[in-house]
Structure 1
Amino acid sequence: QDGSKVDPGVRASYIFNSTIAGIEDADALLIVGANPRWEAPVLNARIRKRYLMGKFPIAAVGPAVDLSYPVDWLGEGPDVLSQIAAGSHPFAEILKTAERPMIIVGSGAVARPDGAAVLGLARQVAETAGAVTADWNGFNVLQRAASRVGGLDLGFVPGDGGMDTGRILDGAATGDIKVIYLLGADEIDTKDLDKPFVIYQGHHGDAGAHVADVILPGAAYTEKDATYVNLEGRVQRGQLAVYPPGDAREDWKIIRALSDALNATLPYTTLADVRRGLVKANPVFQGIDDIQAASWGEFGTTGEVSGAFTYPIANFYMTDPISRASATMAECTDEILGGGEGKTGTDG
């Protein structure tokens, strides 16, 4: 949804390779275009824990914010990243002399128009610093969306001749695209979706539901047996706690029923069929709760990079459909932020 310029062909380019626990093994850290205190508070607490252990220089590229530990803010834009990649910046030497240097790239940093070039620079920094060895991979992307990694593992990206999010929205604005199916897509800019026929599948009636012509009510995470992949690439299972209310159904059942109606019946009728299909699409889904090291490879591009990094979360307190649908949370946000500043939560 956010238009990230990651490479789905190289898994190491979009997961948190060091693992969250592995933060404690690192001995130097560079944060690029991320605010982990808001984007991943539990992970940020692990970084703070490592800082308190001592001998852990931390630098960051992006607008200065309070991360709860001392940070050397090197600058706000990717020009600094270019200097580190070239070895001309002083922090490049700190990374090189570290035994286990770590780089954390924010998902917002690679969602820019020049995101592929930013990703390429970050890869160059990791390689130049020796952050990728036989027993250590210090390159990490900080994904924000639940199971974004799982979608990439399944290849849910535009194919040859396909359109990315930006082009789809442009086509909707001009009227070239007649129908749009929003599968839980609430983090996009919906202002130009007045021309196409919009189908929304999801729960809690968030932004996508507000512009929909037809709503297919899906089950919330507590209402279905589901498979997720966290930012480390760890495949995890969630179990149904309560049944979906009313006409709501598990997402795979809605899509299976729709395939029947379109005379394009999908080849699964049970949850077990779906899970076998996941493994067939990508063997990584075979290992539940396992960490599987990703192979390193070429990813990202070369090219011009410019402009300060911006952080994708404007309102920490309303970053998901459930909190945004809560009147109580809205009142609390008004009180904390002072008059509803940043009410839309994530930018996607």
Structure 2
Amino acid sequence: QDQAMAYGIGGSRYSENKRAVEDKYIGPLIKTIMTRCIHCTRCVRYMTEIAGVEELGLISRGEDAEITTYLEKGIMSEMSANVVDLCPVGALTHRPWAHNARPWELKKTESIDVMDAVGSNIRVDTRGAEVMRILPRNNDAVNEEWISDKTRHVVDGLKTQRLDQPYIRQDGRLVPASWDEALGIVAEKLKAAAPNRIGAIAGGLAGAEEMFALGELMASLGVASIDCRAPHEALRPAAGRASYLFNTTIEGIDAADAILIIGANPRTEAPVLNSRIRRRWRQGGLEVALVGVDQPLTYGVTYIGAGAQSLADIASGAHPFAKVLADAKRPMVIVGAGAYRRPDGAAIMALAAQIAEMARAGSDADAAIFNVLHTDAARVAGLDLGLVPGDNGLDTAAMIAAAGAGKLDLLYLMGVDDIDTGALGDTFVVYQGTHGDRGAHRADVILPGAAYTEKSATYVNTEGRSQFALRAVFPPGDAKEDWTILRALSQRVGKTLAYDTLAQLRARMYKAAPQLARLDHAEATPGAAEAEALAALRSRGGEADQRPFAVAIEDFYLSNAIARASAVMAELSALRVAAERGRSQSAAE
């Protein structure tokens, strides 16, 4: 080496042809630098085996081999961007993230995803006051090492259309105001209104802390009309916690041998959970059936029907799948929002409970069978905290109707953007939230809050697992953490809440709902507890409507205010619509 260094040639020209591959377009999320590719086919295996979308493959042989979608179209999968984490050489990188920052410049914060109710563990990377990217954290009991594309690339939605100062409506227009002005107006309205003419609704992205504070504030004012549920959701804490949890647990899917899906599309409502079902299906010995909208899933499904009559056939034993459930050792019944989020939701839940009881007859003695698949990250925590109407109180649907009929003087919306705000009539609306979305457009007073990356909060996933999300950055401008807004408002109305710090709030919250203190803990519901919940659900009964079940999420990429503010999500939504239109035209031809 010394001789080569002293007397050798310092440089040489590479005389052979170098291999170069043209970069491919495979969608707006994945940037390709295909000359780096070593043809390990990790990405191909992931798309085929995990995501269940066989749109990426290897063509040609030898030095001409290339990874491609062949027609160079965007990959239509809700979990496609995970291939970037798998690529060992950087041939696949994040297109929206490219050239924005260096990894060593970033501060890394552990957090929890709120784009669905699975509670995927994530890492939020920030530079200064800006969220730069979101990556998965491994948790084998929840999301393993995967996250959905929406979870990963909704980041730009945290930076646009943000509410960064209070607003009040004057002469029909929203104008900037100080916190003192805005809180003063809301306090005066609350003090002037009778308790039975006030309503409060918590949205799907709220943390447990602010929901607890909202519940305590309304209780101190004597307000019984408070709800954390979407309109017509047939979920009741009084029926027991097992009546609204994913009782089998997410890990429990790995042992299932029969699954009945009712009114749900796991592929769009919980993509990571859907990948678990696919993995179990690929192993063999699993039969899956669907009642509801016939949509493409990533595993073999027996389609039974569209509505309640199909459930009645299974419950009575008339349908062949009833025997499949009865003979299974580890059956699962998964009920989605498309089934329980309707006026006859109680009757649908009663039928689902009857089917679960039938399936229990041949199952393992203590196996949990009944599972509710939520779509909103806040729902389970809200139900655990009892954020439902009190005596003579109105639920969400009734509050909207009462507001439209002039029977409510004030409606407090905490992060609520997915109701019909045009039906609220002349009711005074207070909106506490993060984005200039539907709720803010209708509001008379806007109180700017913090997004999930901007506060320390507790979220409880669909299986009842309580998890902490840590603050990565501070809210923009004059926006505040949500519980502090409610604490300040309580002081203005003369009903000061009994805590000054987040630690004090949590101590009080844990006394009200001890299960929230058991962090990162979820276990299959014991058979006896589930049996009690099923009996309570059956007792409600009622007449089921024969209308087909609807989809709970119309557009996976635009399902909440943060996603609707994201340009990347808008592009993905447009691609999805174009692809569906193309499939429809092909089918027609």
The 8 Å contact of residues 48 and 68 in structure 1, kept in 2 or not, is answered as: yes
- TM-score relative to the length of structure 2: 0.56
The 8 Å contact of residues 5 and 115 in structure 1, kept in 2 or not, is answered as: yes
Larger radius of gyration: 2
The 8 Å contact of residues 401 and 424 in structure 2, kept in 1 or not, is answered as: no
Equivalent residues in 2 for 1:1-348 (5 A)?
Answer: 1-2=229-230, 3-9=232-238, 10-130=240-360, 134-294=365-525, 295-296=529-530, 297=532, 298-300=535-537, 301-305=540-544, 306-338=546-578
Q: CA deviation at 1:340?
A: 12
State the aligned residue count.
Answer: 341
- Structure 2: gaps of 5 or more residues: 1-228, 582-589
Query: For residues 168 and 133 of structure 1, what CA distance do their matches in structure 2 show?
Result: 43
Q: Which amino acid aligns with 1:207?
A: R
Distance 1:261 1:133, change over 3 A: farther
Q: CA deviation at 1:229?
A: 0.3
Query: For residues 7 and 273 of structure 1, what CA distance do their matches in structure 2 show?
Result: 28
Query: For residues 52 and 316 of structure 1, what CA distance do their matches in structure 2 show?
Result: 25
Distance 1:287 1:42, change over 3 A: same
Q: Which amino acid aligns with 2:576?
A: I
Query: For residues 88 and 96 of structure 1, what CA distance do their matches in structure 2 show?
Result: 13
Q: CA deviation at 1:326?
A: 2.3
Q: Which one is further off, 126-135 or 277-286?
A: 126-135
Q: Which amino acid aligns with 1:304?
A: E
The 8 Å contact of residues 329 and 364 in structure 2, kept in 1 or not, is answered as: no
Query: For residues 154 and 273 of structure 1, what CA distance do their matches in structure 2 show?
Result: 16
RMSD: 1.8
Q: Which one is further off, 192-201 or 33-42?
A: 192-201
Query: For residues 331 and 80 of structure 1, what CA distance do their matches in structure 2 show?
Result: 37
Tell me the residue number matched to 1:344.
Answer: none
Q: Which amino acid aligns with 2:458?
A: T
- Structure 1: gaps of 5 or more residues: 342-348
> Structure 1 vs Structure 2: percent identity of aligned residues?
52
Q: Which one is further off, 188-197 or 265-274?
A: 188-197
Cα deviation digits, residues 313-333 of structure 1 (max 9, x gap): 111111121110124433442
Cα deviation digits, residues 231-286 of structure 1 (max 9, x gap): 01000001010111111111110000000000011111110111112211111012
Query: For residues 339 and 201 of structure 1, what CA distance do their matches in structure 2 show?
Result: 37
Query: For residues 286 and 134 of structure 1, what CA distance do their matches in structure 2 show?
Result: 29
Q: CA deviation at 1:19?
A: 0.8
Q: Which amino acid aligns with 1:60?
A: L
The 8 Å contact of residues 108 and 311 in structure 1, kept in 2 or not, is answered as: yes
Tell me the residue number matched to 2:211.
Answer: none
The 8 Å contact of residues 4 and 108 in structure 1, kept in 2 or not, is answered as: no
The 8 Å contact of residues 405 and 425 in structure 2, kept in 1 or not, is answered as: no
Q: CA deviation at 1:142?
A: 0.4
The 8 Å contact of residues 334 and 340 in structure 1, kept in 2 or not, is answered as: no
Q: CA deviation at 1:337?
A: 1.2
Distance 1:217 1:133, change over 3 A: farther
Q: Secondary structure at the match of 2:360?
A: coil
Query: For residues 572 and 255 of structure 2, what CA distance do their matches in structure 1 show?
Result: 38
Query: For residues 285 and 67 of structure 1, what CA distance do their matches in structure 2 show?
Result: 33
Cα deviation digits, residues 131-176 of structure 1 (max 9, x gap): 7765320210000001210000000011110101111111111111
Distance 1:206 1:134, change over 3 A: farther
- TM-score relative to the length of structure 1: 0.94
